[in-house]
Structure 1
Amino acid sequence: MKPYILLLLFACCLFSCSEDEIESYYGGQYLYFSQLKDAEEDENAIRVSFNNYPLDNELTVKISLGLVGDPFTKDAPYKIGVVKEKTTALPENYSIPQNPVFKANSATDNLELKLIKTENLTEDVSLLLKIEANDYFAGSVQNFDTIRVVFNAVESQPLWWDKDVKNVYLGTYSRAKYRALVQYGGEGAADFGSMNASQKRQCALRLKDAIALYGLKEDDGKAMTVPIY
């Protein structure tokens, strides 16, 4: 339903018979969080867990933006604010570009938000971002002007590390082995569960080779092993 709501809002902005509405929208460019168009009603937040990136202490999240109105001929600065009363993330947990710009001659762009891993992220925290008006943009579109980012650093066994993965490819889960898998297993190793059987085998064999080459051990000092052969 979100795409149809957005189109209806745009139509109202352009064709409303209300004089007040015409005055407030006439001649301006507007930004909106475009990825909300395809989000379900109960999935209108970006969710990130550092657990899925065991080697990273910082993550860059790209948030899609769309433009209503004529594209700019030059890069146009825009403003993103934090709705503090609806944000539980601490300032040290995120970094927003100080002077973001919307690229010229385009109707789409991305805001690059940096998330920072700290010891306090033992449960979900949320960051509510809001598009604000400035000298270049008149503001945003209702229902598409804010977006919530929910994130944590809770360490847990990935859901895909099931009985089959344990018995055939990787053996018993451990945090040290998960870190080694991501480091040595090749591209996409962090999301091992999305691979097909051949890719899983190759990934597990790369880990096995790294164990032999570097003498990798578990956190308790025991030798790391995998069942793949």
Structure 2
Amino acid sequence: MNKIYVIFLVLVFFSCSEEKIMRYNAPENYIRFTSTYRDSVRVSFVNYPTENSFEVKLPVEIAGSVLASALDYEVVVDKDMSTGIEGTHFSLERVTFGAGVFSDTLRMKLNRTADMKEDEFRIVLRLKDNGNFTVIPSDNDYAIVRVSDKMSQPDWWDRGIVNDYLGTYSDDKYTLFIIVTNQTDLSEASPAEKRAYALQFKYWLEDQEKAGVTEYNGIKLAGITVPVRG
């Protein structure tokens, strides 16, 4: 009887151990947005005067092993937190994470609408568990996109632009910058190009001051400065 009991315990032990090994070694993919929700994306169609749609690219990443083949993941719109309407202000397509990579891009199409002239719309996207991926609740499990057709600080006007090229943002400064340089987006510009546009704007402001011009296109020029050296 004792021998049978010992054999039974040994079998149970190995059975449980094997189950744990299989569970802990089982492949599990974790997914999240690369940026936290605090780094919300803001898009204004003012920056794209000839476009009626704009593609937002939100980076996503996985933890674990790279995928042997592309797999779908799930993104839902948080309707309680969103003011933008799917099918009107934006649209989402099937989302798939590529094989052999740790980072990929979620693409969302924004549509220019007449009501964006008056209001900014918020779109909140949440990652959701599905059969392919697990989402760990954190500041990276959802993303916020804000869209309007009003003048607002573009994403590319970041700390580097503030410190090295154009200084602190204001709607008036941005409006004049567009008028003077005919540029609305420096996100793809090289440092040399950013410097050239900033200098063009700076020299224009200096010329207006020398000529005694205090207002241009309804904008007061006093206090508008550009820190780029040159």
TM-score by length of 2: 0.57
CA positional deviation for 1:85 = 1.1
CA positional deviation for 1:196 = 2.3
For 2:34 and 2:25, the matched residues in 1 are separated by 19
- In structure 2, runs of 5+ residues without a counterpart are 1-22, 154-168, 202-230
For 2:53 and 2:123, the matched residues in 1 are separated by 16
Runs (4 or more) in structure 1 with deviation over 3 Å come to: 23-27, 155-163, 187-191, 197-202
Q: Secondary structure at the match of 2:58?
A: strand
Relative to structure 1, is the Cα distance of residues 24 and 127 closer, same or farther in structure 2, using a 3 angstrom cutoff?
Answer: farther
For 2:188 and 2:50, the matched residues in 1 are separated by 10
Aligned to 2:195: 196
- Do the aligned partners of 1:31 and 1:68 also contact (CA within 8 Å) in 2? yes
Relative to structure 1, is the Cα distance of residues 189 and 148 closer, same or farther in structure 2, using a 3 angstrom cutoff?
Answer: closer
Q: How does 1:124-139 map to 2 (within 5 A)?
A: 124-137=120-133, 139=134
Aligned to 2:32: 32
- Do the aligned partners of 1:181 and 1:190 also contact (CA within 8 Å) in 2? no
Are residue 105 (structure 1) and residue 104 (structure 2) matched? Answer: no
For 1:134 and 1:198, the matched residues in 2 are separated by 47
For 1:190 and 1:72, the matched residues in 2 are separated by 30
Question: Identity, % of aligned pairs?
Answer: 21
Among candidates 71, 89, 94, match of residue 90 of structure 2: 94
Q: Secondary structure at the match of 2:182?
A: helix
Q: Which whole-Å deviations, capped at 9, do the CAs of 1:74-118 have from their partners, x for residues lacking one?
A: 111111110111110022111111x22101011110101111110
For 2:129 and 2:25, the matched residues in 1 are separated by 12
For 1:126 and 1:189, the matched residues in 2 are separated by 22
- Do the aligned partners of 1:130 and 1:145 also contact (CA within 8 Å) in 2? yes
Q: Which whole-Å deviations, capped at 9, do the CAs of 1:175-202 have from their partners, x for residues lacking one?
A: xx68x9359xxx84999xx832467649
Among candidates 7, 30, 39, match of residue 44 of structure 1: 39
Aligned to 1:120: 115
Q: How does 1:1-229 map to 2 (within 5 A)?
A: 27-36=27-36, 43-91=38-86, 92-97=88-93, 99-121=94-116, 122-137=118-133, 139-143=134-138, 144-155=140-151, 159=170, 162=173, 181-182=182-183, 188=186, 195-197=194-196, 201=200
Larger Rg: 2
- Do the aligned partners of 2:152 and 2:171 also contact (CA within 8 Å) in 1? no
Answer 1 or 2: which has greater helix percent: 1
Aligned to 2:14: none
- Do the aligned partners of 1:131 and 1:140 also contact (CA within 8 Å) in 2? yes
The letter for the 1-side match of 2:182 is L
- Do the aligned partners of 1:93 and 1:118 also contact (CA within 8 Å) in 2? yes
TM-score by length of 1: 0.57
- In structure 1, runs of 5+ residues without a counterpart are 1-22, 203-229
Q: Secondary structure at the match of 2:42?
A: strand
